[in-house]
Amino acid sequence: MSRRKNRTIYTLLFVVCVVGFWVFENFYTPATYSNSETGNLSDIVDTDFLPSSTAGTLVKHNYFILSYSEAHEQAEWVAYELKREHLTQDNRKRPYFIEDPKVKTKSADWRNYKGSGYDRGHLCPAGDRRFSEQAYNETFYTSNISPQDREFNAGVWNRLEQQIRKWCKKYGDLIIITGGVLENGLDEIGEEDVDVPELFYKIVFRMDEEKVLSFLIPNDPSFEGLDTFLTSIDELEKMTGINFFENQSNAWQQQVEQEVDATGWEF
């Protein structure tokens, strides 16, 4: 076979590989991760402690629930329970990030994050869901991610996630509510204009004594202690427009939401 024919074959093979890779990157979508039939909402998280939905789009998966904001192409909050039996170290293979099939308006494609300089930051952490393959994989729906500064994601945000696991091990079952502060005028990335929150919040509710801690952290690198980011639920509600414990009595909300009380929490 002549050198010219060899070059032609190699060139064609190279073109086929490039085209195949492009098609795979842009059009391949793996199978969905959740079961088609999700259990009762009360099986996912105690409904007495769920927030309101300003977006009006509640999405239930098998191991977390979220309120999706189409205007911002991400969840305004994700809520889930963290139990001691969830705290495993099972090795899991990272799946693909895929669009959430339960978001009727389509959740943002993961490709919006490519080249943006931002991480695909988990809201419900994959590390909290190692106890089963399905639970772990569900956290890779794009409805459960938000653009995060890389050093923030790997730094202070990760430190808070690890601290919450320690609290769960020490105090027992927790309810976690988390998300970015979504507002007008935020920077956007990708073709779908995914908003980049300037602040992220996380609310930790202890079921044993009905104690609450809430954190508000800038989407920037930080080496500050976690307790420096404590804030009140009332302050978070003013910033987000979300009523975080709307199913509780007014008296309960006034008692729990006005103050920052870290008594009984070991940092």
The tens digit of pLDDT for each residue in 226-263 reads 999 999 999 999 999 999 999 999 999 999 999 999 99
Length of the chain measured in residues: 267
Give me the pLDDT at residue 33, please: 78
Q: Is the predicted pLDDT of residue 213 greater than 60, yes or no?
A: yes
At 137 the three-state DSSP class reads: helix
Give me the pLDDT at residue 21, please: 45
Catalytic residue IDs: 122
Q: Is the predicted pLDDT of residue 95 greater than 70, yes or no?
A: yes
- Options 3.40.50.300, 3.30.70.3270, 3.30.2130.10, 3.40.570.10; CATH for 31-257 is 3.40.570.10
Six token digits for residue 73: 């192409």
DSSP 200-252: EEEEEEETTTTEEEEEEEESS---S-GGGGEE-HHHHHHHH---TTTTS-HHH
Q: 239 burial class (0-12, 13-18, 19+ CB within 10 angstroms)?
A: middle
Across all residues in the chain, what is the average pLDDT? Answer: 89
What Rg value do the Cα atoms of the chain yield, rounded?
21
Q: Is the predicted pLDDT of residue 10 greater than 70, yes or no?
A: no
Residue 123: which of 89, 157, 93 has the closest Cα? Answer: 157
Residues 186-195: tens digit of each pLDDT: 999 999 999 9
Give me the pLDDT at residue 27, please: 42
Name the β-bridge partners of 152: none
Q: CA 40 → CA 48, 110, 263, distances in Å?
A: 14, 29, 34
**Residue 49 — φ and ψ, nearest 5°?**
-120, 25
DSSP helix, strand, coil percent of the chain (3-state; round to 5): 35, 20, 45
Reported as a pLDDT band with limits 50, 70 and 90, residue 207 is very high
Reported as a pLDDT band with limits 50, 70 and 90, residue 32 is confident
Q: Is the predicted pLDDT of residue 215 greater than 90, yes or no?
A: yes
Give me the pLDDT at residue 143, please: 97
Reported as a pLDDT band with limits 50, 70 and 90, residue 3 is low
